[in-house]
Amino acid sequence: MLEAFFTPQSVAVIGAARAPGKLGYGVLSNILQYGYSGKVYPINPKADEVLGLKSYPTVLDVPGPVDMVVIVIPNRFVPQVMEQCGQKGVKAAIIISAGFREAGMEGIKLERQVLDTAKKYKIRVVGPNCLGIISPYTPLNASFAAGMPPKGGIAFMSQSGALCTAILDWALSEGIGFSHFVSLGNKADVDEVDLLQAWQEDENARVIIVYMEGLKDGQRFIRVARQVTQHKPVIAVKSGNTAAGSRAVSSHTGTLAGSERAYEAAFKQTGVLRADSIEHLFDYSLAFAYQPPLKGINIAIVTNAGGPGIMATDALESSGLKLAALQPETIERLRQGLPAAANVYNPIDVIGDALTDRYAHALKAALDDKNVDGVIVILTPQVYTQIEKTAEVIGRLAANTEKPVLGCFMGQQRVGPGIKILSQYSIPNYSFPERAVGAFKAMAEFWDTRQRSAPQYVQFQVDQQTVRQLFDRVRDEGRLTLGDAESREIMEAYGLRIPRSVLAKTADEAVAAAESIGYPVVMKIASPDILHKSDIGGVRLNIRDADQVRDSFDLLVYRAQRYMADARIWGVLVQEMVSRGKEIIIGVNRDPQFGPLLMFGLGGIYVEVLKDVTFRIAPLSRREASEMMNEIRSYHLLRGVRGEKPADLEAIIDTILRVSQLVTDFPEIVEMDINPLTVHEEGRGAVAVDMRFVLKEKESEQE
Amino acid sequence: MLEAFFTPQSVAVIGAARAPGKLGYGVLSNILQYGYSGKVYPINPKADEVLGLKSYPTVLDVPGPVDMVVIVIPNRFVPQVMEQCGQKGVKAAIIISAGFREAGMEGIKLERQVLDTAKKYKIRVVGPNCLGIISPYTPLNASFAAGMPPKGGIAFMSQSGALCTAILDWALSEGIGFSHFVSLGNKADVDEVDLLQAWQEDENARVIIVYMEGLKDGQRFIRVARQVTQHKPVIAVKSGNTAAGSRAVSSHTGTLAGSERAYEAAFKQTGVLRADSIEHLFDYSLAFAYQPPLKGINIAIVTNAGGPGIMATDALESSGLKLAALQPETIERLRQGLPAAANVYNPIDVIGDALTDRYAHALKAALDDKNVDGVIVILTPQVYTQIEKTAEVIGRLAANTEKPVLGCFMGQQRVGPGIKILSQYSIPNYSFPERAVGAFKAMAEFWDTRQRSAPQYVQFQVDQQTVRQLFDRVRDEGRLTLGDAESREIMEAYGLRIPRSVLAKTADEAVAAAESIGYPVVMKIASPDILHKSDIGGVRLNIRDADQVRDSFDLLVYRAQRYMADARIWGVLVQEMVSRGKEIIIGVNRDPQFGPLLMFGLGGIYVEVLKDVTFRIAPLSRREASEMMNEIRSYHLLRGVRGEKPADLEAIIDTILRVSQLVTDFPEIVEMDINPLTVHEEGRGAVAVDMRFVLKEKESEQE
């Protein structure tokens, strides 16, 4: 689909320059210098020849077909050049030039113009305002970057071009290899999701890593990323997390950064691993790119030093991995091959004077143990330590196993040559134990993601028709909020249990209603103009007989009129008084990038004071709904403490999933809350006691 | 005090060997090779000469005085050699030899023997089982390490010798300088606290860093560290945090690792900064060692790339630092000196094509701004970036300011020479923005520590005598737990408010008591043999009249006898029924390293389910008590939510401090709980409703 960017047969550089130091020179010279074997055409109306190649005034003058162009000319000329590209039948355009969306109103117009032309001719565009693309396997360096990384298993994309330069500079000196290296720039057309899709089946890309500041279409990201992570790991650094960070994003690229909560939820739901820094991004990706997959959480540590062994152990435990419990035969084998002072339990300490033979013995034993899923080999450069020779042996042993082995040769000067040897054997080295553990943790998470079965979406039998008609009616009346009875109608249409309830227009009707429902009852004023009923004394609880019903009816109507003289009063709602239970809140807010963001938590102080809530993006699978419950700190309270019976967890899941279906079916719901959802003991269900809906204005839907 | 280790006039190497590859050769050759100017004496009975120096059979044969010895002989010979050192008047001994406490029972005996001799002759000992000591300023390399680090501001000590080798290897290639470098080994004598004390006044040591696995005397550590951090930063990595990690510690060095909670509290209370990895340890220490102190939390960022600027901003905000709000005149100045597309607000983006002049302009403006406390300069290697020249200018500007400047030149190959220049100007470089922010965060914490006034210890007027006698009496009776009346007596002696209460021996006495206290009352069985009264139905609440008092009296006595036929029954306690309030738990447990570890939290589910508690080591200052309250997540509940009045916070602080004084005065209290402490509204005090004490066995005190 995007092959024309990565393996074009021919490339034209529009704006190819003769003066070294100019970007148009840099791009052309990179294409030529790093061995591209296709046809290359410089385009420059003012030159006959650039860098020894015949130059053409426009792309239309090129004799053969042109698959891809790289555009390096001032912004105002780009639209007309795109038109020419279209006529020429170009499939892919990398626009390096800046001065588009990132540069204000004029630039936004220019970018739209370019994109319209591209769409007309079905040209895919990377950029504008980017560094270019490097495809080491082709090989093709269609960028103005200083250097060309070797081939490797990492497919990299970044919204920040400057970050590309920094990473390339680092990768070059470390010898890190890439399958793809893409600077996305303004993402006028090709974005993260397109590349995820393109790289899903590409065998050279063993791991995909992304630096992103914002996404255009969150739901599409979720759909695609969820598939891709079934095939290969995807690791993302998302910046602009905090409030101040988000401001910087807006001023930088004009992307409207989605709320942090929504991204967090999206990464969880798709299995995209999140790194909290570029350093961790590469720590993880090296393990994925160079080592076989980790298939468990049990790690063995081989070390010649106690201290670092402890540090690794600490890190393992606090990250949720496990120090593998070695089999008795492994322990016996270690005891025979190691001196008495060695520790033959995990972490296996071959002690300070260990030569290569002890490392070999210990590593072999660990790898042969079926309780061990992966091994970290720690080496400190002590007096007798044989650094290179040990690296050789580790490399050979690791090459003959299906289990991942990570190096942790600590130090720099003396251990440097050993680290180089490890890298020849495709073993990444981490300078500190915690970082090696971090890489294994990422691998364990990916393994966990792949173990998951495909998400199961329950589809409940609901009455969409009623809700559709109700929303239309409400919006035709110019309202965005719903009356109580309307909210109840929606809940019922989606099978959500609400208190039994009758709208009474007179005190007599109210008494009849109360008697049919059974005492005690709750009474609430019914008016579309009064949203926060409790605040005006519009709700009365625990009404126990007919006299109290009559008194309450009059009181509620009086208060409503006092609050707002011209309020439309439909009557009084007489409701079943829900017996006590755990109070839950389920809310939905519409995130600009991701759509319906569903919140779950315990009500009252848990949500208000402790902020003990969790989020997912709808639609949710059954497993996701159940994970939400597990994630909150107060989950124990739902499970029952001090001999209480557990709450009806199934009823909670059912409610979450029905709400998920509702807000997915009706994008016009911009906000909704069920607060509280009163949950009774196991098997006794849950009742939505109060709820609130806010709809989108009709006009804004067309955006 | 420990000068003899760092600046001895003469050194003898006991076990100096002629064969390269032997440790005794390595040590002597390190002393000679790295320029030690004092007298050096090889001791080796089998040689006349070692490495060109005259050798002596024993240290007693050396003609002149010997300040320090380095011992590198098999373990079994060390005791007799120590005896000779004593006779010779040696002041300091580094025992490199292994085979002591870490090697089992025999080794423990040997170590005790060596230590006894050392004490007899007042010889201080570092080790055994260590790498040695390096003193770059002397210069003296009294270790078998491979290499000698340059002079610098970092004083380093480590319990793990292997870690020393790794760090040295890394420091050598990075050119990191040290003032002291000590491998502590088994810490038979000299330990972390001794070195802290020794380095407090040493001007060469600008920052002290410690790798520790456990401490011997926690209270002494707190006393000393608290003083040292008033002079210079102390940064610690403490490993063996998690359960599994602790097991590894025990098997490694035989140190009994203190509980993680106690260390956490100790670091907080002393202002010792904690790093969670060796990487962070050095990230922080470089900033402290090479840059002026940070005196605030407002950071400016200068960058030539938006992405990394956002990452830095995110990291700043989430670490509690602030993106400095630049003054209007700074913004104007930036606007004049930078192109229109630049961002003149913080983070200051000089954009991708910036040459050195823009960096100079931006950095100067930021440093001149009084709202800015420190600056991070980010540089990505873009096409036109002048890396070395920019580094030069940053270096010169930083040298002329009192504000700290940290570098973040991202990449490796191209930026390498720039990083070298920064380091010549004493500017540490961090490869990623998050790490530079981490260093500033550590500096801000240190600044905060230094701002603090010395801790104020309140000394309440209490009745120690009564408690002393009571404990003696209880322990003379062979009991370790207290009866209710006894607990109440202790509380009263320390001015802790408890419910008014009278012990009644008959039903009539109980009625009289209830009438003098006022209804409603609580009644509890009073027996030293029944600890958990509620469990046997031994507590009755809300008793409202004389008849109920009589009934309850009989019922409680009956139940107690049924539960334990021969229980000693003192009667029934008639108590004031405490009105409702917030329920607090204050508990104390004695930690083996640190002593009384005091816990604070809200009672009920907050402590049981949410584990929302915090710890400090007694004695506590007023500020520490108040910090405890602030730290728990449920603090808001004490402040009052939804229009409630705040709880009586002063009464809580008072209670914490009185408990702190009590457990400090009486080390025989191994456990105590006040649960609940019922706290009323502001100004209305707090009442300890229930409490529990456990005492130490008399014998175990003599340990």
| Tally of CB atoms within 10 A around B561 | 14
pLDDT attached to residue B91:
97
Q: Which residues of A touch B602 (CB under 8 A)?
A: none
**Domain end call among B62, B95, B129:** B129
Q: Which residues of chain A have pLDDT under 50?
A: 247, 249-258, 700-703
Structural domain contains residue A137: no
Q: Under 8 Å CB-to-CB from B452, ≥6 apart: which residues? A: B271, B623
Write the residue in A311, A383, A384 that is nearest to B239 by C-beta: A311
B383, exposed or middle or buried, with CB in 10 Å at 0-12, 13-18, 19+? middle
Structural domain contains residue B282: no
Q: Under 8 Å CB-to-CB from B37, ≥6 apart: which residues? A: none
**Domain end call among B74, B99, B129:** B129
| Per-residue model confidence as pLDDT tens digits over B548-569 | 999 999 999 999 888 888 888 9
State how far residue A365 is from chain B, nearest Cα, in angstroms.
20
In whole angstroms, give the CA distance from residue B55 to residue B65.
Answer: 15
> Per the structure block, which two tokens stand in for B196?
């802290």
In whole angstroms, give the CA distance from residue B474 to residue B482.
Answer: 7
Which residue in chain B is spatially nearest to A308 when comparing CA positions?
A: B163
Structural domain contains residue A470: no
Instruction: Say whether both B4 and B49 belong to one domain.
Output: yes
The CATH number of whichever domain residue A281 belongs to comes to 3.40.50.261
Q: Rounded to the nearest 10 degrees, what angle do helices B218-228 and B260-270 cross at?
A: 30
Taking CA atoms, B442 is separated from B235, B236, B282, B294, B296, in Å, by: 9, 12, 11, 9, 11
pLDDT attached to residue A261:
85
With residue B655 as reference, give the H or E element that holds it: helix B649-665
What ipTM was estimated for this complex? 0.81
pLDDT above 90 covers a percentage of chain B that reads 70
Put simply, the answer to whether B277 touches A605 (Cβ < 8 Å) is: no
Structural domain contains residue A104: yes
**Domain end call among B248, B275, B302:** B275
Instruction: Say whether both B343 and B431 belong to one domain.
Output: yes
Structural domain contains residue A55: yes
| Amino acid present at A532 | H
Q: Provide the domain count of chain A.
A: 5
Put simply, the answer to whether A310 touches B213 (Cβ < 8 Å) is: yes
In whole angstroms, give the CA distance from residue A348 to residue A375.
Answer: 11
Q: Does A158 touch chain B (CB under 8 A)?
A: yes
Put simply, the answer to whether B608 touches A641 (Cβ < 8 Å) is: yes
Domain of B561, in residue numbers: 500-576
Instruction: Say whether both B299 and B428 belong to one domain.
Output: yes
Q: How many helices (H) and strands (E) would you count in chain A?
A: 24, 29
Which residue in chain B is spatially nearest to A309 when comparing CA positions?
A: B248
Instruction: Say whether both A286 and A304 belong to one domain.
Output: no
Phi, psi of B34 (to 5 degrees): -100, 25
Using the CB atoms, write b or e for A193-205: b if 16+ within 10 Å.
Answer: bbbbbbbbebebb
- With the C-alpha atoms ordered A657, A659, A660, A665, is the resulting torsion angle positive or negative? positive
Put simply, the answer to whether B414 touches A253 (Cβ < 8 Å) is: no
> How many Cα atoms within 13 Å fall on the side-chain side of residue B383?
17
In this model, does residue B537 exceed pLDDT 60?
A: yes
Q: Please report where in the chains the tokens 């008591």 appear, as a residue.
A: B513
Put simply, the answer to whether B318 touches A410 (Cβ < 8 Å) is: no
pLDDT attached to residue B324:
96
pLDDT attached to residue B142:
97
Structural domain contains residue B466: no
The CATH number of whichever domain residue B623 belongs to comes to 3.30.470.20
> Per the structure block, which two tokens stand in for A401?
């196993």
Put simply, the answer to whether B383 touches A23 (Cβ < 8 Å) is: yes
CB contact residues (below 8 A), chain A span 107-126, against chain B: none
How, if at all, do strands B595-602 and B582-591 pair? Answer: antiparallel
Least confident of A252-256, B44-48, B532-536, B682-686: A252-256
| Per-residue model confidence as pLDDT tens digits over B316-341 | 988 999 999 999 999 999 999 999 88
pLDDT attached to residue B702:
42
CA angle B300, B305, B308 (to 5 degrees): 70
In this model, does residue B92 exceed pLDDT 70?
A: yes
Provide the strand spans (E) within B9-139.
10-14, 39-43, 49-50, 53-54, 68-71, 92-95, 124-126, 132-135
DSSP one-letter string for B479-495: -SB--HHHHHHHHHHTT
How, if at all, do strands B273-274 and B234-238 pair? Answer: parallel
In whole angstroms, give the CA distance from residue B689 to residue B687.
Answer: 6
Instruction: Say whether both A76 and A155 belong to one domain.
Output: no
State how far residue A413 is from chain B, nearest Cα, in angstroms.
5
pLDDT above 70 covers a percentage of chain B that reads 97
In whole angstroms, give the CA distance from residue A608 to residue B579.
Answer: 26
Which residue in chain A is spatially nearest to B412 when comparing CA positions?
A: A170
CB contact residues (below 8 A), chain B span 197-226, against chain A: 211, 213
In this model, does residue B201 exceed pLDDT 90?
A: yes
Taking CA atoms, A284 is separated from A150, A241, A281, A375, B240, in Å, by: 19, 21, 6, 15, 24
In this model, does residue B703 exceed pLDDT 60?
A: no
Write the residue in A279, A307, A384 that is nearest to B211 by C-beta: A307
Which residue in chain A is spatially nearest to B318 when comparing CA positions?
A: A242
| Tally of CB atoms within 10 A around B186 | 25
CB contact residues (below 8 A), chain B span 429-458, against chain A: 431-432, 434-435
Instruction: Say whether both A125 and A69 belong to one domain.
Output: yes
Put simply, the answer to whether B413 touches A23 (Cβ < 8 Å) is: no
Identify any residues that bridge with A211 across adjacent strands, giving them in sequence order. Answer: A158, A237
Selection from A576, A606, A567, A601 nearest residue A587 by Cα: A601
Structural domain contains residue B481: no
Instruction: Say whether both A348 and A362 belong to one domain.
Output: yes
Instruction: Say whether both A346 and A420 belong to one domain.
Output: yes
Q: For testing the chain B interface, which of A274, A310, A644 should be mutated: the one with the most B CBs within 10 Å?
A: A310
What Rg value do the Cα atoms of chain B yield, rounded? 32
B547 versus B241: the higher-pLDDT residue is B547
State how far residue B440 is from chain A, nearest Cα, in angstroms.
17
Put simply, the answer to whether B244 touches A317 (Cβ < 8 Å) is: yes
How, if at all, do strands A348-349 and A613-617 pair? Answer: unpaired
Instruction: Say whether both B172 and B226 belong to one domain.
Output: yes
State how far residue A582 is from chain B, nearest Cα, in angstroms.
14
Which residue in chain A is spatially nearest to B607 when comparing CA positions?
A: A634
In this model, does residue B241 exceed pLDDT 70?
A: no
In whole angstroms, give the CA distance from residue B165 to residue B601.
Answer: 44
Provide the strand spans (E) within A527-594.
539-543, 571-576, 582-591
Running DSSP on this structure, what letter comes out for residue A186?
T
Selection from B292, B258, B333 nearest residue B594 by Cα: B258
Provide the strand spans (E) within A521-661.
521-526, 539-543, 571-576, 582-591, 595-602, 613-617
Instruction: Say whether both A380 and A286 belong to one domain.
Output: no
Write the residue in B146, B159, B608 that is nearest to A381 by C-beta: B146
Structural domain contains residue A241: yes
Which residue in chain A is spatially nearest to B281 when comparing CA positions?
A: A432
Least confident of A246-260, B414-428, B645-659: A246-260
pLDDT attached to residue B590:
86
pLDDT attached to residue B261:
85
Count Cβ–Cβ pairs < 8 Å, chain A vs chain B: 253
pLDDT attached to residue B375:
98
Q: Which residues of A touch B414 (CB under 8 A)?
A: 146, 169
User: Would you call B153 helix, strand, or coil by DSSP?
Assistant: strand
The CATH number of whichever domain residue A550 belongs to comes to 3.30.1490.20
Q: For testing the chain A interface, which of B101, B129, B156, B239 should be mutated: the one with the most A CBs within 10 Å?
A: B239
Put simply, the answer to whether A170 touches B413 (Cβ < 8 Å) is: yes
Identify any residues that bridge with A409 across adjacent strands, giving them in sequence order. Answer: A379
Per-residue pLDDT band for B174 (boundaries 50, 70, 90) equals confident
CA dihedral A343, A344, A348, A351 (to 10 degrees): 40
CB contact residues (below 8 A), chain A span 283-302, against chain B: none
Instruction: Say whether both B300 and B441 belong to one domain.
Output: yes
Instruction: Say whether both B57 and B89 belong to one domain.
Output: yes
pLDDT attached to residue A635:
87
Q: How many helices (H) and strands (E) would you count in chain B?
A: 24, 29
Average pLDDT rounded to a whole number, residues B651-662? 96
In this model, does residue B455 exceed pLDDT 90?
A: no
